[in-house]
Amino acid sequence: MQQPLTARRSAAISGRVKVPGDKSISHRALILAGLAIGRTRIEGLLEADDVLATARAVQALGVPVSQDGSVFEVLGQGVGGLAAPTTALDFGNSGTASRLMLGVLAGYPMQVSLTGDASLCRRPMSRVLKPLAQMGLQVEDGEETLPLTVVGTEDLLPIVYELPVPSAQVKSAILLAGLHAPGRTTVIEPLPTRDHTERMLSFFGAEIDVETRADGSRAVSVSGDAELKGAHVVVPGDPSSAAFIVAAALICPDSELVVENVLLNPTRTGFFDTLREMGADLEILNEHDAAGEPVGDLQVRSSTLKGVRVPAERAPSMIDEYPILAVLAAFAQGETRMEGLAELKVKESDRLGATAAGLAACGVSVRIEGDDLIVTGTGAVRGGGTIETEMDHRIAMAFLTLGLGAEEPVTVDDVSMIATSFPVFVPLMTGLGAQLG
């Protein structure tokens, strides 16, 4: 059942707050803990639908997973130690979990079926299946979308694979498969993508080599026949979730906010870099490391923003933040051109089209040129629209945020799917002063 929600113009968004754990790191922590030998304790795991689907999949593959308060404990079975599940692995709405698990399953000579919800079953898997097929994974029914059935092999072949387009999910799936293959498996990426998999593989004891080339591309290699060891993982706050709170503080007058313990991995900070270019009053405090990842606090105050050009090469470092960046562009003065957004068309929705349609419904001047999104802001937004979220959590949260600064209320048609990534979004935002209801 759909759950509509309306956002109204709000006064200051203020306080100190922590956002839930990073979704990308949470997925990888569970998967690698299952492939390690011995016990792994995970603190700060994101308890959202997508990540809990990963936990259930790991359990279905014979790995004990338990929870004590906010701490998850995983008793890893080692690389090669997983068991065939008795039913299909259901990944709900999680593209990350399903694609990474395909890489894990490639090294097992067992038949496994994978499925998901209606949205996930429309999303392409071919970019992952192609390199994994080169390594030895077989797709039983020839399908390239879920549901599908695969059969792996103990005799995986190591490969050198150049990504046709930057994709952290494809890179990660190949590296996870490479744990089973003899020798070295290498992924060459034309632009750096989020590097949580290689960081966490190294943290668990895998042999990882990263070479940055003169042309800016990166070659990431993993040595096979790996032995991972259980570890203690502390998951930092998700910068993609923090983006909505930061944006609300920027557009609501007299706001002053600190978001604590946010992941600041340089492959994930393109949004914050862009905000500074737009004139945002944004500072990073208390920088430190946690489980191999850089972390810090974000201090933000309401700001007058200006339009900027966001180059295509920045897209991998902020691919999930474009809907909320487009919202901020509507409140900025002048034109913001966001280039090279083809990847947005194959997210939970056609995010490029959904973002443009939502902005237009709120009276914003917006157009799409090829893979570019161009928003012309005037410093104020009329609002008043009803937004079709298309089952996309980031579209829902972006336009609820827009409504907090718009002249007229903004309604989104469904907020039920927000639980996939940020289940406490509404109570957290209202606690900071947001008018949602």
The SS3 call for residue 237 is strand
Helix (H) or strand (E) holding 225: none
Planar angle of CA 392, 376, 385, nearest 5 degrees: 45
Q: Report how far residue 152's alpha carbon sits from residue 227's, in angstroms, rounded to the nearest whole number.
A: 19
Q: Report how far residue 435's alpha carbon sits from residue 387's, in angstroms, rounded to the nearest whole number.
A: 17
Q: Are 262 and 288 within 8 A, CB to CB?
A: no
| Annotation marks residue 320 as catalytic | yes
Query: Which entry of 50, 320, 392, 414 is annotated as an active-site residue?
Result: 320
Q: Report how far residue 207's alpha carbon sits from residue 142's, in angstroms, rounded to the nearest whole number.
A: 34
Q: Report how far residue 101's alpha carbon sits from residue 84's, in angstroms, rounded to the nearest whole number.
A: 13
Q: Report how far residue 27's alpha carbon sits from residue 42's, in angstroms, rounded to the nearest whole number.
A: 11
Q: Are 303 and 279 within 8 A, CB to CB?
A: yes
Q: Are 116 and 101 within 8 A, CB to CB?
A: no
Q: Are 24 and 51 within 8 A, CB to CB?
A: no
Q: Are 47 and 423 within 8 A, CB to CB?
A: yes
Q: How far is CA 69 from the centre of its chain?
A: 25
Q: Report how far residue 55's alpha carbon sits from residue 26's, in angstroms, rounded to the nearest whole number.
A: 10
Structure tokens at 55: 């936990």
Helices and strands per DSSP (H, E), number in the chain: 12, 25
Q: Report how far residue 316's alpha carbon sits from residue 194's, in angstroms, rounded to the nearest whole number.
A: 7
Q: Report how far residue 132's alpha carbon sits from residue 106's, in angstroms, rounded to the nearest whole number.
A: 7
Planar angle of CA 383, 386, 387, nearest 5 degrees: 100
The SS3 call for residue 67 is strand
Please choose, from the candidates 7, 20, 1, the residue with its C-alpha nearest in 3D space to the C-alpha of residue 422. Answer: 20
Please choose, from the candidates 333, 338, 392, 388, the residue with its C-alpha nearest in 3D space to the C-alpha of residue 362. Answer: 388
Residues assigned a catalytic role: 320
